[in-house]
Amino acid sequence: MDSQALLSKQVDAQLHVVMFPWLAFGHMIPFLELAKLIAQSGNHVSFVSTPRNIDRLPKLPPNLAPFITFVKLPLPHVPNLLENAEATADLPNDKVQFLKVAYDLLQQPMTRFLDAADPDWVIHDFAPYWLGPIATKLGISCAFFSIFNASCVGFFTPGDQLEYRSEPDHFTVPPKWVPFQSKVAFRYFEIKKIISEGLSGDASGVSFKYRLTESIEGCDLLAVRSCFELEPEWLRLLEQLNRKPVIPVGQLAPELDDRGDYGKDETWQQIKEWLDKLARGSVVYVAFGSEAKPNQTEITEIALGLEQSELPFFWVLKMSLDPSDTEMVKLPEGFEERTKGRGVVCTSWAPQLKILSHDSIGGFLSHSGWSSVVEALSLERPLILLTFFADQGLNASFLQEKKMGYLIPRNEGDGSFTREAVAQSLRLVMVEEGGKIYRDKAKEMSSLFRDRDKQKQYMDNFVSYLKAYRRIKNKGVAAS
């Protein structure tokens, strides 16, 4: 077979893709969803993470298990990193910096694995800023996959213009490179809380903005968890700013029957029995993700706000974040007795997607994590938003701008909020006429977020691009 015929055959050959997410479940789960969609068309995926994280990931559907291989790279021990801590969920926020130190020490074992595996592509997160040059040296194509939507990435790029924003106030307005009208920005208390640890250096010696900038600079293409129907102007801007292909891969909404909560049906049955007794659309579901933990003052105001709202509620409450977290929170005295029968406080694991899918759920009080947003909107659940850290503020401002979520009013300086604000926000979005716009928007967006045909089109386009790029690259090699 001559070289041209061989190259033609390679166009349709299945890909081998390596995926390397940051060590946070809010990152690993979307990476796994993308891996499953890539594998559905017969491509092979090597999913790389640490042993304990891989053991905690959802089980694969039987039809995809042959196409996805989990690769365990032991996490190096570093000073100040808690024993057995392999994900951000295992740590208080101030210790995550030491997880980054350990993660950066995966550079050598990751290099050895890539050299031996010789994949067509490595798809990576923002954190391994060092991976692009390694992949280039090994002749492997490199894609940066942003689990953040395009508006969030666009807010922080291009890297060479970031320096003009040196004060918190600079992040409370859209950046100067955004040519269209937008309200996407942090509130003062949000950026003030994260700027010292998120945008400047930490124990790893590398800032968030440097990791993001270098990860984008070192890749061959930028894949974004987004779609043209939701934010076309931001996707176009990303391509203009970064001068490389930007490909949306869809919202990656999980399948309703593929939720990774196998073996825990007894827990769900107990929850379902309680939800079955309540009226359609009457219950507010409350959860703030695996890493956000409201402080005691915030817990008190949320609880008393739920009580004042007089709405039924199901609240998944983390009493502590991890074994080292000694600051246990508590509910207001008499709260559970006063709300008995109307509300449930769950302090253990709960199957979020199953709960959201129940007909009695009428709204979701959320931290604005994008995975939770996707789950809620795919199931027509309107959002009431209470942010805590990281990208949540940008997500919330985007959602509010699009009338896809309602932000609980807060003090702009310190982020404090009242029980009255919680109660009024819940009633507005859940039952009052003034909140109908949010309920209607959730129904409108559900048709987009759960559209499997549309999701397949985005994935077919993405995989086709990966294969076409391989062909062009191989032609170049053959010609030389």
pLDDT digits (tens, 9 = 90+) for 32-42: 999 999 999 99
Token readout for 425 is 């926000």
* Domain residue ranges of the chain, discontinuous segments joined by +: 3-253+451-479, 265-449
**Per-residue pLDDT, 258:** 44
pLDDT band with cut points at 50, 70 and 90 for residue 170: confident
- Provide CB contacts within 8 A for 270, sequence distance 6+: none
Residue 368 in this model has a pLDDT that exceeds 60: yes
Q: Which long-range contacts (CB under 8 A, 24 or more apart) does 329-332 make?
A: 329/293, 329/294, 329/295, 329/296, 329/299, 330/296, 330/299, 331/299, 331/303, 332/300, 332/303, 332/304
Average pLDDT over residues 422-440: 97
**Per-residue pLDDT, 196:** 56
Sheet of 283-286, strand order: 343-346, 313-316, 283-286, 361-366, 383-385, 405-407
CATH class of 265-449: alpha beta
Other CB atoms within 10 A of residue 424 CB: 17
Distance, CA of 453 to CA of 277 (rounded, Å): 35
Given CATH 3.40.50.2000, say whether it is the number of domain 3-253+451-479.
yes
pLDDT band with cut points at 50, 70 and 90 for residue 449: very high
pLDDT-above-70 percentage for the chain:
90
pTM passes above 0.85: yes
**Per-residue pLDDT, 275:** 96
Instruction: Cis check for the bond before 76: say yes or no (omega within 30 of 0).
Output: no
Average pLDDT over residues 206-215: 88
10 Å CB burial of residue 193 (0-12, 13-18, 19+) is buried
Question: From residue 137, how far is each of 121, 199, 200, 212, 312 by CA, in Å?
Answer: 13, 29, 29, 20, 58
Tell me the per-residue pLDDT of 238-274, one tens digit each, with 9 for 90 and over: 999 999 999 999 999 987 654 444 445 788 999 999 9
Q: Which carries the bigger pLDDT value, residue 162 or residue 51? A: 51
10 Å CB burial of residue 87 (0-12, 13-18, 19+) is buried
Average pLDDT over residues 153-163: 70
Phi first, then psi: give them for residue 306, nearest 5 degrees.
Answer: -60, -40
Residue 105 in this model has a pLDDT that exceeds 60: yes
Tell me the per-residue pLDDT of 323-334, one tens digit each, with 9 for 90 and over: 555 567 899 999
Count Cα atoms within 13 angstroms, Cβ side, for 392: 22
**Per-residue pLDDT, 289:** 85
Q: 8-12, 74-78, 173-177: which has the minimum mean pLDDT?
A: 8-12
Residue 468 in this model has a pLDDT that exceeds 50: yes
CA triple 147-150-154, angle to 5 deg: 115
Tell me the per-residue pLDDT of 56-71, one tens digit each, with 9 for 90 and over: 999 999 999 999 999 9
**Per-residue pLDDT, 9:** 47
Q: How far apart are the first and last CA of the chain?
A: 18
3-253+451-479 and 265-449, same CATH topology: yes
Look at phi and psi of residue 263 and say left if phi exceeds 0, alpha if psi is from -120 to 50, else beta. Answer: left
10 Å CB burial of residue 471 (0-12, 13-18, 19+) is middle
**Per-residue pLDDT, 159:** 56
Please state whether beta strands 121-124 and 141-146 pair in parallel, antiparallel, or not at all (unpaired): parallel
Average pLDDT over residues 177-201: 81
Average pLDDT over residues 121-132: 97
Average pLDDT, the chain: 89
What's 340's DSSP letter? B
Residue 11 in this model has a pLDDT that exceeds 60: no
Average pLDDT over residues 91-117: 94
10 Å CB burial of residue 454 (0-12, 13-18, 19+) is middle
Q: Which residue has the tokens 């050895």?
A: 112
Residue 162 in this model has a pLDDT that exceeds 70: no
Distance, CA of 162 to CA of 175 (rounded, Å): 9
